Structure 1
């Protein structure tokens, strides 16, 4: 197996042009106005997009492995109606960020996030993390808890490493996006991933996974001891059919080690819950953030 690249890069100039053409078109057609913001960090320049309310606790969205701003097309508007919203293109992943220094591990990953929060002038934010981004959010709650007022985690990938079954699911989802509608509908049911039926929404985001050589630290599963230290108000939504983990077993584990966390298994959904059921996810985020604000 080839070593992980130390600096994220597109596979070639053609791949970069292909991805950025689709990416920029998606940003131009975004359902709400986005203001680009480049934040300088010691790991390179990170591209964020600002939208939403002028005041309130900022909500920062962290995508899954290989993801970027585009994965939040269905959430940025609804959440922005009540909060300032920041969408992040992670350093080391496909997007408009430019990495100049390697992210060597979890210390660097947390340092990078802290520098992002400094750059937007927010001493503390509400985090929304999907998959790998959920793991990042948990790391932040462990290591810089004063910067996190609360968080909603969407099928967070923090409890075991991805298996062959999960990689096969991701590959099947990617193939499904290119199939005719009747096959897409069948695969969407079998894979518990309704977003396959909306390829135009996410094609540029998915393409980034295949056209970019990522340089993100591998996810290291969190221990019971680490999880038990988290006091940040936390809502976790798991796809009942997730291929990333056994959602029911993880729920039972969290009830034991993080009893204050709110955990919900969403029936009929898989790992890509953030894209598949935004009409369920968005109200949960807003309600949880509002309850924290009232404390």
Structure 2
């Protein structure tokens, strides 16, 4: 859910997800197109839950959610066609709400830790050759840093309304989010999402899961500088980059961010999708995202 590392500012110890969280997670998973598999991949930072959907022989697509959103946010995209053209590998971030299990005493604290964690996830998936890596919001920030550190492992990078990559956050957005940051409750989460999405109709199962994240013990997100993607174009075989901004996002100015992305990555495909908010993008624009990824 979170567009930025500002969310989840405490560092509680991990505890087993509650039965109500698991029930909400299961209800969201039940909406994915069949067949669906799950895997718990060992990494230096704990077990990482990955939801797998789509033909086993299809090109692999590793997807990272925004902070707090869980891998379940990708269900609409899988149903809209992603799972027909790709092997969707949707990841629960270690330390965030979800079914990944952090390793005690091995918290992810720096960008280098994120890179090592994602190395282990991709290795655990048994991907043969370059992978397509996609992310939304904070997940796009992680994916961008991974692309800078491991460009040879990527054939393609898909960034969906990335935050703190090409533009900063609007102060008004941060102020509006503060009540949820300081003391998250289901009511505050729903109120914030309704405001940011402009009242868009969001999936009830996903909203129920977001209610449950208010009580989930999440670790402090990794902080760090903006990833510098300008060097990708200078590589002998650079990964293909697609960037899609939500035209109605309140977290940043989408048009300004798109201009910055085009300057940094002149060979990338950069688009702004009108009428779509930041948090709702993977849900309400699922068909557009599926077509974007299928276009190659």
Q: Which runs of 5+ in 2 are unaligned?
A: 1-5, 181-185, 233-237
State TM-score, norm by structure 1: 0.82
Q: Which runs of 5+ in 1 are unaligned?
A: 290-295
Please give the alpha-carbon distance, in whole angstroms, between the structure 2 residues aligned to 1:38 and 1:108.
Answer: 19
Please give the alpha-carbon distance, in whole angstroms, between the structure 1 residues aligned to 2:9 and 2:141.
Answer: 22
Please give the alpha-carbon distance, in whole angstroms, between the structure 2 residues aligned to 1:197 and 1:27.
Answer: 19
Higher helix share: 1
Render the CA deviation track for 1:153-205: whole Å, top value 9, x for unaligned. 1101133554553342695xx749868xxxx9xx96x64456x4234131243
Match of 1:33 among 32, 35, 39: 35
Q: Which residue of 1 aligns with 2:123?
A: 118
CA RMSD of aligned residues (A): 3.0
1:1-295 correspondence runs (5 A): 4-5=10-11, 7=13, 9=14, 16-77=18-79, 78-100=81-103, 101-122=106-127, 123-159=129-165, 160=167, 162-167=169-174, 168=176, 175=187, 191-193=196-198, 196-222=200-226, 226-230=228-232, 231-272=238-279, 273-287=281-295, 289=296
Q: Aligned-pair distance for 1:219? A: 4.2
Q: Aligned-pair distance for 1:37? A: 0.6
Contact 2:41 2:48 in 1 (8 A): yes
Render the CA deviation track for 1:230-283: whole Å, top value 9, x for unaligned. 232111110122122221111122222211111111111121211222122211
Contact 1:73 1:201 in 2 (8 A): no
Please give the alpha-carbon distance, in whole angstroms, between the structure 2 residues aligned to 1:177 and 1:4.
Answer: 17
Render the CA deviation track for 1:1-34: whole Å, top value 9, x for unaligned. 9964175x35xx7x72221121123223433321
Q: How many residues align?
A: 274
User: CA separation of 1:169/1:104 partners in 2, compared to 1, >3 Å: closer, same or farther?
Assistant: closer
State TM-score, norm by structure 2: 0.82
Q: Aligned-pair distance for 1:213? A: 3.0
Please give the alpha-carbon distance, in whole angstroms, between the structure 2 residues aligned to 1:165 and 1:276.
Answer: 24
Please give the alpha-carbon distance, in whole angstroms, between the structure 1 residues aligned to 2:205 and 2:19.
Answer: 19
Please give the alpha-carbon distance, in whole angstroms, between the structure 2 residues aligned to 1:3 and 1:266.
Answer: 31
Higher relative contact order (CA 8 A, sep 6+): 2
